[in-house]
Amino acid sequence: MNVTIVDYKSGNISSVINSFKEVAKDKVTIEVTSDLNKIKSSDKVVLPGQGSFKSCVDSLNKIKGLRDTLNEFALTNKKPLLGICVGLQMFANVGYEETETKGLGWISGKVSKIDNQNGKFKLPHIGWNQINIVKDSKIFKDIENNSHMYFVHSYEFVPNDKKVISATTDYSSNIVCSVEKENIFGTQFHPEKSDRIGLKMIDNFINL
Amino acid sequence: MLKNRIIPCLDVKNGRVVKGINFVDLKDAGDPVEQAKIYSDGGADEICFLDITASNENRDTIYDVVEKTSKKCFVPLTVGGGVRTVEDINKLLNCGADKVSINTAAVENSKVVVDSSKKFGSQCIVVAIDAKKNGDKWEVFTHGGRNNSGIDALEYAEQMEKNGAGELLVTSMDRDGTQVGYDIDLMSKISSKVNIPVIASGGVGNLDHLVDGIKLGKANAVLAASIFHYGKHSVKEAKDYLDSKGIPVRI
């Protein structure tokens, strides 16, 4: 089996690569590439993302054919895909960071700034927060409810259909921190930086 | 609920830990990778490396340390010390650092903070403020505390938030190395002034100081070096203590 981490110059992805390689050991091949053919032929895809919604979408669009290839992978072929942080946010129709930007539109919804309640809550939301698992998700196999995960973000994904939400976290309000829609998975937190529990989640995704 | 973070800091010089944990079962007490692993296994919420390498020819040693550590530690890794340019930041991030802290360069050329936060995202840009009290205000020092910029620390903190810093690492020069506790007044004033997280640093001598940094200093995270060195306290002990004082921590 091979898992491809999409390298579309979306910022720092070395931690994502390190964590997947740590979990995969020699059982699974981890590719890091933007090569369309390699993405097409892989069994699973990881879509990381750092920086702003707009900068990630722009970088994605810069690679000719990448958007179509990802659409085909996730929507037509329905193969497992995991979006991390802005990678998850890009599932939305639209994001409002910097300026209004169209997302991939895989899960209907928007990405908007976390309400800091007039400065009561600091942004970015940085650090370890507990996740409230609201739906049985395969990526949470053997992960206890209220486990701590590492977050760093100022924007949140607000899906229209609440049924896609698999976990939330409490910061100013109930922030969506994990989604699952058929073969499409996403986490707002960083499993690659969330210690053993994060690695377990990565293991769950690899073993889907 | 978001937890308060405990961040052990290791001083690294020429690729070696200067003051470290002195555990009997440690194969190589000077190896930063092994020390960082002990901290992360012990429940550290993040790891911080401060590169204090003086000579330019040895500056590359930190890249190797970061690269090796990031393959073994799966908690956030912050690296600071001698970071001058956007390219320096780029190199550290590519080696596996999750955040880079900028000190002198942020004072001398605020464009570094503006440009790097735009390029890599605010989440990985930490501005380190070394502040020393002068009368009723605090002034920002550079070059490892050697030069006084004369800049007001509170105004500077606000400016750095505007420039795109994702966090502020505030060190009291008066308290650093004294083990008498954080400068609570400084921490709480800066923390109230900005809307980004503040990491308190400088002066920790016992576990109550960590409690004070969060409760009184309003810091979101506490950084400490010497109390974790030589096994005086483990990260686990620190977390249990904070928990017993009603401070939310990840246990």
- The residue-averaged pLDDT of B25-38 equals 81
pLDDT band of residue B25 (cuts 50, 70, 90) is low
Question: Which residue is catalytic, options B31, B45, B88, B130?
Answer: B130
**Is position B11 annotated as part of the catalytic site?**
yes
- The fraction of chain B above a pLDDT of 70, given in percent, is 96
Give φ, ψ of A124 to 5 degrees: -60, 155
- Which is more confidently placed, B191 or B26? B191
Kindly report the average pLDDT of chain B as a whole number: 93
Contact B76 A150 (CB under 8 A): yes
Domain count, chain A: 1
Structure confidence by residue, pLDDT tens digits, B68-88: 999 999 999 999 999 999 999
- The residue-averaged pLDDT of A127-142 equals 97
Which residues does chain B have within 8 Å of residue A50's beta carbon, measured at their own beta carbons? 120-121, 123-124
Structure confidence by residue, pLDDT tens digits, A140-189: 999 999 999 999 999 999 999 999 999 999 999 999 999 999 999 999 99
Q: Domain boundaries in chain B? A: 5-244
Question: In this model, does residue A126 exceed pLDDT 70?
Answer: yes
- The residue-averaged pLDDT of B42-64 equals 90
Structure confidence by residue, pLDDT tens digits, B214-246: 999 999 999 998 898 777 899 999 999 999 999
Side chain identity at residue A108, one-letter code: S
Contact A196 B74 (CB under 8 A): yes
Question: Which residue is catalytic, options B11, B45, B176, B212?
Answer: B11
Question: In this model, does residue B19 exceed pLDDT 80?
Answer: no
Interface contact A187, partner B, CB < 8 A: no
The secondary structure of B126-194 as a DSSP string is: EEEEEEEEETTEEEEEETTTTEEEEEEHHHHHHHHHHHT-SEEEEEETTTTTT-S---HHHHHHHHHH-
Please, what CATH class does the domain formed by B5-244 belong to?
alpha beta
Contact B98 A12 (CB under 8 A): yes
Question: In this model, does residue B115 exceed pLDDT 90?
Answer: yes
If DSSP codes are grouped into helix, strand and coil, which group holds residue A96?
A: coil
Contact B120 A50 (CB under 8 A): yes
**Is position B130 annotated as part of the catalytic site?**
yes
pTM for this structure?
0.96
Side chain identity at residue B185, one-letter code: D
